[in-house]
Amino acid sequence: MSLRESVSVNLGEGEPGPQPSKKVVRFFGLPVSEFPIPLQLTLLTSFVFVFYLMYGYVLELIFTLDGMQPYGWYLTLVQFAYYTLFALIQLLLSGEGISRKIPLRTYAVIAFLTVGTMGFSNSSVGYLNYPTQVIFKSCKLIPVMIGSVLILGKRYSFAEVLACICMSVGLIWFTLADSTVQPTFSITGVVLVSLALLCDAVIGNVQEGAIKKYSEGATHVVLYSYSIGFFIILAGLVMTNQLLSAASFAAQFPWEVYGRGILLSAAGFCGVQVVLTLVTLHGALLAVTVTTCRKAITICLSFIFFSKPFTIQYVWGGLLVIAGIYLNIYGKKNKGTTFLASLQQLYMAVQRSLGPKVSTIREGDASLFNV
């Protein structure tokens, strides 16, 4: 080899290293994460509206059946059976298997809270306007914030405190409107939905902690929490001597209870899956925005499809609750900044989004400005 010859050694510096495989997010086998973002948003948002509007409509329709009011817990038992069946079918079809990672003791706690959330919520529909129940379920920030202040000594930003105040006033306003126009208004409904709200506020933290600690899949959580919850409700109905009377009533109206029950459960099961997919792909802020709009439309459709008295106080109470939801989200996003500074940042962001996109102008386009 002569001195003038050179030897080149490929060190691999210019070659791209192995790229980590991007996880494909699927919705019932559909690889939605591989779709263009506008198509993702269109599909998932449409699914949220379809499934949850169906859920709200069918739930209220079930309780229009004469004599159904005392059997909210039996309807919850039926729902838990269907949810368990749907989760089992999904796991078997996907080939994931049914082996669990979370201990049974933890699942028992999750199941107990799930029973409280759905059981008290279903029972409250027999005593309250469905719009009032929806508004209550939107305000779990209130018990979460009160509990963390009293137990953990946690401090919140001004925006989060204002959000809690808006939700509280909105709830009071909505409930007062309900008691004014509803001739059959009962404080029992308020107590039941408040208990559902307390369980709902706790269950999120327990589920999130267990899923993160043991890396358990969402469908496995549904399978075990609802199957255990089924036996909890069954035991409760047996001990209170309500099972036979509820089953006898349902036998007289099989389509109204079991037929509509399977539609209700299918809509709820699919709705949970699509919201989880939306959170995974686009974050909690967008998911909350979509579900809040869905709740607003659910309330409007409830007044349209089911004849009930209406007052403008419902509108003001609902707007206060929606304002509280977004103040809470914005307060969490801008933690550490003052409230006035947060408002200024929000104003500037809106101005940027509405202003001309001068950054897209290329060199040579000066003629656009008649220079």
Report whether pLDDT(263) > 90. Answer: yes
Residue 74 has pLDDT above 90, yes or no: yes
pLDDT at 41: 79
- Judge whether 148 and 316 are in contact, CB under 8 Å: no
Q: Are 32 and 279 in contact (CB under 8 A)?
A: no
Averaged pLDDT, 164-182: 67
In angstroms, rounded to a whole number, what is the distance separating the alpha carbons of residues 187 and 114? 23
Q: How far apart are CA 349 and CA 189, in angstroms?
A: 42
With a cut of 80, say whether residue 19 has pLDDT above it. Answer: no
Average pLDDT over residues 355-370: 41
Statement: the pTM of the whole predicted model exceeds 0.75: no
pLDDT for position 200: 76
Backbone angles phi and psi of 60, in degrees to 5 = -70, -35
- pLDDT, tens digit, for every residue of 177-196? 665 666 555 778 888 888 88
pLDDT tens digits, residue range 230-249? 999 999 999 999 999 999 99
pLDDT for residue 122 is more than 90: no
Q: What's the pLDDT tens digit per position in 291-318?
A: 666 766 776 766 677 666 666 776 777 7
Pick the closest to residue 186 from 295, 296, 299, 70 (CA basis).
70
Mean per-residue pLDDT, 96-117: 88
Which one of 49-63, 182-196, 316-330 scores highest in mean pLDDT? 49-63
Residue 72: is its pLDDT beyond 70?
yes
pLDDT at 365: 38
Determine the Cα–Cα distance for residues 97 and 93; give it in Å rounded to an integer. 9
- Lowest mean pLDDT segment, chosen from 66-70, 159-163, 243-247, 356-360: 356-360
Residues near 116 by beta carbon (within 8 Å), at least 6 away in sequence: 195, 196, 198, 199
pLDDT of 349 higher than 60: no
The winner for highest mean pLDDT among 14-28, 201-215, 281-295 is: 201-215
Six-digit token string for 313: 């106080």
Tokens of 246: 């509820």
With beta carbons less than 8 A apart as the criterion, state whether 121 and 137 touch.
yes
Task: Read off the tokens for 371.
Answer: 């220079």
